[in-house]
Amino acid sequence: MLGPMFLTHLECTACEGSFSPLGLPRACPDCQAPLAARYDLEAAGAALDRSTYASRPGRLWDLAEVLPLADPSHAVTLGEGGTPLLELPRLAAELGVARLTYKDEGQNPTGSFKARGLSVAVTMAKAGGATALAVPSAGNAGGALAAYGARAGLPVVLAMPQDVPAANRIEAEVTGAEVHLLPGTIADCGRWIRERAAEHSWFDLSTLAEPYRVEGKKTMGFELACQLGWTLPDVLLYPTGGGTGLVGIWKAFDEMEAMGWLPKGAPRPRMIAVQAAGCAPMVEAWASGAERATAPANPHTCAAGLRVPTPKGDRWMLDVLRSSHGRAIAIEDEHLLASTRRLGRSEGLFGAPEVGALVAALATLRAEDHIGHNEHVALIATGAGHKYLECFG
């Protein structure tokens, strides 16, 4: 059965218009803002309590009651989700925080958190009748879409910047995608896809251009709460390019509270969006009090996942940052790379450069006393370092 279980409708994140969740939905047809999946959370909470969820194996589709597919046996899956939450005691002591935890998304299939979003998005695209899939990607999303498209038996077309990390390009080619390397950034690749999608009947799975990648990413929030015994950290640092995971985790907190899994009005983490100094549109928008982000003139960073000059979910992200009393911070490439090495030396973890940005941001915010010495800080480590070997030569 491919109809919704507890999914009721899609809601525009800007104008709050209501739309059908079936078929191949995209952005709001009225204002072009991202759509968010809405559920009958009271019914979902009655059908699945947190102790039953905790007793399941721990994979993404164990949360079927709050995912958009009624029958998870039809899911396009490679075993994603269930990533470990690691304690980092030595790095916590070095940086002066009481507790530091590390959600290791590099242990997902294809080596990054992108596996979560693409599992759900490809599942729903196939259920909705898509015959071919496409996406612009600076790296890990392209590799993940290629893998999940192959798993689904659907052709995949990717537009990637010419300087995309070799691991991402090779991964996509080996798993059968048609890869086009283009000059410029992911924004230029996005235009290339949009100009051709209708003619070739490609369903475009760009970040927040459809509603279901967020649904995969929100499972990080459910897992985090479960792994912490249904408590939440004081601060959560997230490497922010397109920002799907940032808004998805916050959406998970909302849903868990509505389901009765978290106490009403319980404290939430301060959400910290971490960007690269060479491409920091969310930092500029947050600092200026703007409602929308403005693309930087020359976006550049070695952390490919952070080189997103025009994030579609900018308003949604800013709302999360402000609602959580969080903030956005930019890190220079030399510092994020040095901090990636620091993480490796201290804890034996080889994270992507985006992960190093989190460590550098924590050090800066701790030095400025924006994070207290008695706080629990969680890092969402979005990918594995072996996907970025060029950065460490």
* pLDDT tens column, 257-282: 999 999 999 999 999 999 999 999 99
Answer for the pair 101, 233: CB distance below 8 angstroms, yes or no.
yes
Q: Which one is the CATH code of 85-112+213-392: 2.40.160.40, 3.40.50.1100, 3.10.580.10, 3.80.10.10?
A: 3.40.50.1100
pLDDT digits (tens, 9 = 90+) for 93-110: 999 999 999 999 999 999
- What pLDDT score was predicted for residue 4? 63
Which residues have C-beta within 8 Å of that of residue 341, sequence separation ≥ 6? 356, 392
Which token pair is 256? 């868990």
Q: Give me the pLDDT at residue 3, please.
A: 53
Q: What is the reported pTM?
A: 0.97
**What sign for the dihedral angle of Cα 117, 378, 110, 79?**
negative
Q: What is the pLDDT of residue 272?
A: 98
Q: Which bin fits 351, alpha (ψ -120 to 50), beta or left (φ > 0)?
A: beta
CA 379 from chain centre, in angstroms, equals 13
**For 155-295, where are the alpha helices, taking DSSP H only?**
166-174, 186-200, 212-217, 219-227, 244-259, 281-288
If you average pLDDT over residues 319-331, what whole number do you get? 98
Asked whether the predicted pLDDT for residue 2 surpasses 70, the reply is no
DSSP letter at 83 equals -
Using one digit for the tens of pLDDT, what is the confidence trace for 229-263? 999 999 999 999 999 999 999 999 999 999 999 99
What does the DSSP 8-state code read for residue 332? Answer: -
Q: Are 242 and 138 in contact (CB under 8 A)?
A: no
- pLDDT tens figures, 145-159: 999 999 999 999 999
Tens of pLDDT, residues 60-93: 999 999 999 988 899 999 999 999 999 999 999 9
What integer best gives the mean pLDDT of the chain? 96
Question: Please, are residues 333 and 301 in contact by the beta-carbon 8 Å criterion?
Answer: yes
pLDDT of 1 strictly over 50: no
pLDDT at residue 11 tops 70: yes
Which pLDDT belongs to residue 66? 97
pLDDT band at 393 (very low <50, low <70, confident <90, very high): confident
The whole-number pLDDT of residue 5 equals 85
d(Cα 223, Cα 227) in Å, to the nearest integer? 6
Radius of gyration of the chain (CA): 19
